[in-house]
Chains A and B, each alone.
Chain A
Amino acid sequence: MISIDSLSFKISSLTKSKRILSNINLNIERGEAFGLVGESGSGKTSILKCLAGQFQGWEGTIHVQGKSIAKASLKERSNTMQMVFQDPYGALHPRHTIRKILNEPLVIKGLQNKEERIVEALEQVGLDETFLSRYPHQISGGQRQRVAIARAIILDPDIILLDEPTSALDVSVQAEILNLLANLRARHNLTYLMVSHDLGVIAHLCDRVAVMKAGEVVEVVTREELMEGNIAHPYTQTLLQHAFSRE
């Protein structure tokens, strides 16, 4: 579904250039939930941004559904891929109502039956029509993240990029959102690429995980290997130790 080959990315200024990603190779199957873990600055979000078209000028190749995304227009890309961000408050326009927020992608694509699609997307994420006239500040953090997810699925994408979707939420709300994401994936046969610093969250939702450090993928492990502690790289072991010691 997604294949990334020798992806490298560096940011250069006049005086110095900084390598953000070096030689990333990943293959993500259709319908798979794939996780990226690592500490801040390790480059996990950068991979999502390369995929989403927020970063330009990377080297290497990225194919989505067999097509190189370097050649795809942003509009084509958004038909197959949508993104959900970490902070639901920052991701939703504060002066747009929920109706307007969900209407926007439909207008851009010139789609019909907007009202029906909006209501359906809201129902998919467990909200109802009464939310349509409200603004983001009038709903709770968990509901906001639900709206952000609704906006991502309203265009019926195949892939959803999730950038720390629950780290700004309370544990009780995190459980609700994780359950919702698992349901949606089963219902629509979605492919997830999820970034998180929390191994527990990753192991809950994802089948496979790439562990990242300083712009490189040090290891790709399955959920079972992770839960059994059957891993090779010392950095993964440190991360896992931290996670186990917290439980």
Chain B
Amino acid sequence: MYARIFGIAAVAACLAVPVFAAVALGDAAGSYTISPASSSIRFSIGKAGGGGLNGAFARFKGSIRIDNSDVGRSQVNFTIFPESVGTGQGRVDAFLRSDAVFDAANSPEIQFRSTSVKRTGDTTALVTGRLTARGKTFPEKFTAELGGLKSGTIRFHVTGKVLRSRYGMDVGTPIYSNVVNFDMTLTGKRR
């Protein structure tokens, strides 16, 4: 999807100089496999009185396909393994893995499948898709910002808000916010 972005960036290169201005049109197009080692999926949930619960998923997999001719036909899919949740507090992790939240034993995967990709700026896009967790599927939106592309490696910063109550994970509200803030760095290696 960033093919067109790069094209425009290249054209506009002498006015503004985006970091990827040097990237040629066809360079970003292609299929990428998300590399967990250089990616992260972090989340935070605000809590009453300030502060919040911060955590990350250690295990996930996914792919990014950037269409050469039509950005809208680009695709992002990823699967998170909630068993790998980590907050720095073992008791909190056990709680999150239990049937109080993820029920990781019975629902071992959280899946996102993009349904549309819309360019919103030189380096940004709105990715809409279907998120499935604990057997429930709802449309969700994420904002993706291109962080860089070099030698077959593409990097995105992805943010989005998800209402956990819809997925049967409303435990602890309103002490803990219903809104889960996702902050991901996804690095893809060209296949």
- Whether A associates with B in a native complex is no
